[in-house]
Structure 1
């Protein structure tokens, strides 16, 4: 028997400070923690084993519904390039939130300034969907700049930011500066793991459930 629909469903858009920072793993953990629905609006490349397939392989609760992508593009490239290669013009009006009463995790493509067409960015998609943002940050040379830039761009559009999720080995001086400067909350962190499988995601999900419970009190 599935659990009842949450009274106040959380709806998060997962974005990164760049590529390969761990958005899909973060999305899987949040999906498992909240027993949320999952949606990747735009998939570019890796159609045989997409981000949706990855999250499906990592999530073990019975409640999650995986909603189909609005666009499935062959080329592993920026969405505007991948769409153009197929003679398509990606249109935001075709990207509509799935109908669900459950919590919802939406995973973006790259960072907030990734182009979707010749005029619109992932940032415009976030604003259109009206979701609160979780920023996934990972330490590398330049990551402070990329994290703070992402925060400032979202704030300039008056888009609500739920917090920052740090992924990878801890870098206290970097993370402390980012949190002090932005005054944003930090989600529980994800560490570098030898493998991310269902048991690993379930373990992290328990920590995230405790986080949400404590922050709702």
Structure 2
């Protein structure tokens, strides 16, 4: 039986990819399914600084998997790390360490091929973030050809951003398995209206609203609903 793997992308940075990914992994593990998550490329992290490490995206993913947050564990989840909170190409240029995009893609393929339980590969930033001088996250997604979970926000402007992303993904032949609308703190647009509009303009793609809450357990029902749309 083929183990499902998904690529988690978004319409932009700080939309909620890691919140959604970690929530899905945590819920699957609560059901006895040893799901895992990877964030192969991450910027804005200093593994030598305890506070930076604890607040990082890899730390959230490790916590969801029940693993300790240590530099060694972070390296297993996120092998390509940069200190500057910039796009990978810019952060890599500052450090003089270009991202080995081909090697990173092959690493992802191997992890997906040998996964024994559902695997989530989380991208970096939005779908068109540059990885090096010529390639973007979109090229990474095309190379892996995994079904996508598109995370978008509920802020004013999200409709255009989401529909633009869907158009770009479709033009490259990528399948969006579901859209997770992650509630944007302070958003002025009602979530119900955002969902209704996306349903009209993106028929056939399952939608799930995910509240951004202080206690992640309060979003369990939303994560369970999203898992159901993904067939998990």
**What TM-score does the superposition give when structure 1 sets the normalisation length?**
0.83
Moved more, 166-175 or 15-24: 166-175
Give, in angstroms, the shift of residue 177 of structure 1. Answer: 1.6
Question: Secondary structure of the equivalent of 1:135?
Answer: strand
Give, in angstroms, the shift of residue 188 of structure 1. Answer: 3.2
Unaligned runs of 5+ in 1: 1-6
Structure 2 residue corresponding to 1:22, chosen from 16, 31, 35: 16
For the 8 Å contact 1:21–1:138, the answer to whether it is kept is: yes
Give, in angstroms, the shift of residue 13 of structure 1. Answer: 0.9
Question: Secondary structure of the equivalent of 1:188?
Answer: strand
Alignment RMSD: 2.4
Structure 2 residue corresponding to 1:125, chosen from 140, 147, 166: 140
Q: What corresponds to 2:151 in structure 1?
A: 136
Give, in angstroms, the shift of residue 203 of structure 1. Answer: 5.2
Q: What corresponds to 2:63 in structure 1?
A: 57
d(CA) in 1 for partners of 2:19 and 2:225? 15
Give, in angstroms, the shift of residue 59 of structure 1. Answer: 4.5
Q: Does 1:88 align with 2:97?
A: yes
Question: Secondary structure of the equivalent of 2:209?
Answer: coil
Q: What corresponds to 1:186 in structure 2?
A: 206
Which structure is higher in helix share?
2
d(CA) in 2 for partners of 1:212 and 1:139? 19
Q: Does 1:78 align with 2:98?
A: no
Give, in angstroms, the shift of residue 196 of structure 1. Answer: 3.5
Structure 1 residue corresponding to 2:182, chosen from 143, 150, 167: 167
d(CA) in 2 for partners of 1:206 and 1:76? 32
Moved more, 132-141 or 200-209: 200-209
Question: Secondary structure of the equivalent of 1:101?
Answer: coil
For the 8 Å contact 1:32–1:201, the answer to whether it is kept is: no
Say if 1:159 and 1:119 are closer, same or farther in 2 by CA, change over 3 A.
Answer: same
Question: Secondary structure of the equivalent of 2:212?
Answer: coil
For the 8 Å contact 1:134–1:161, the answer to whether it is kept is: yes
For the 8 Å contact 1:32–1:202, the answer to whether it is kept is: no
Give, in angstroms, the shift of residue 204 of structure 1. Answer: 4.5
Question: Secondary structure of the equivalent of 1:189?
Answer: strand
Show structure 1 runs of 4+ deviating over 3 A. Answer: 58-61, 199-209
Give, in angstroms, the shift of residue 17 of structure 1. Answer: 0.9
Say if 1:25 and 1:184 are closer, same or farther in 2 by CA, change over 3 A.
Answer: farther
Unaligned runs of 5+ in 2: 30-34, 47-52, 68-72, 185-189
Structure 2 residue corresponding to 1:153, chosen from 168, 180, 188: 168
d(CA) in 1 for partners of 2:101 and 2:129? 14
